[in-house]
Amino acid sequence: MQRRLFTLAALATTLPAPLYALTPELFGAASAAAVMHVSTLLEQDPATQIAEMVVMEAYKRLGMGLEVHKYPGERSLVSANDGLMDGELYRKVGMERDYPNLIIVPVPLQLYEIVIFTRDTTFIVNGWESLRPFTIGFVRGIKIVEASTVGMRTEAVPTMQQALQKMTMGRTDVVVGNRASGLAAARALKIDDLRVLAPPLASFPVYHYVHRKHEALVPRLTAVLQQMQKEKIMERIQRQVLGEALAPLP
């Protein structure tokens, strides 16, 4: 028996990480989940960095690792729902309605705020319909923006930097997206005249999701994240990331 266990362990180390993570029938659920492979959108923005640091700390407290894989648009959710990934890094509540294999971990990671970015365009913001007269840039795969701009003139791109670049070239009138992500992208691109219109179009918490094959992890992750809330870990991570991402350039 000991020799068989040793052989399986040795075999596991020779497999590519995603295959090992997705083979619980061979190695056992606990061993297979030693590293969780989760998907998210392409861009490394402050919101994604915050979510990754929070979720990584949660898995670390469970004696597990986290590896984040970045995909364009819909591919991130499809990969998680189909079981090619172990979960989705962070999304808003309700994703299980369209992606039934995903299970929410019901502790918010951060508050996600959707705003309008402009340079020369000015108007009164009164909900999503305010955008109808304009050509709207946004990051492909952000479901609330896709759903709320159906029938409007839109330009979807893989990253916030690309969305802002299109606006500076006159290809779009406005960009809609996460406040911190847009400000960080503008800082990186050295766009000094970016304006954020008020009020926000939406503000909502985002959550980690796991594939249903890891359903047994949900209570443990919930307990760990709740403890992290009590310790104000999320707040500290947000202050750290936003302080670095939005600090003035030298």
Say what the pLDDT of residue 20 is: 34
pLDDT tens, residue by residue, 163-182: 999 999 999 999 999 999 99
> Which CATH class for the 2-110+206-245 domain?
alpha beta
CB 111 within 8 A of CB 235: no
Say what the pLDDT of residue 155 is: 97
Instruction: Break the chain into its structural domains and give their ranges.
Output: 2-110+206-245, 113-203
Low-confidence ranges of the chain (pLDDT < 70): 1-33, 249-250
What angle, rounded to 10 degrees, do the helices at 46-61 and 233-245 form?
150
Does 2-110+206-245 match 113-203 in CATH topology? yes
Say what the pLDDT of residue 247 is: 75
Say what the pLDDT of residue 250 is: 58
Please name the CATH architecture into which domain 113-203 falls: 3-Layer(aba) Sandwich (3.40)
* CA distance to 65, 66, 106, 126, 148, per residue, from 221 (Å): 13, 13, 9, 38, 32
Of 228, 181, 214, which Cα lies nearest the Cα of 44?
Answer: 181
Q: How far apart are CA 13 and CA 170, in angstroms?
A: 51
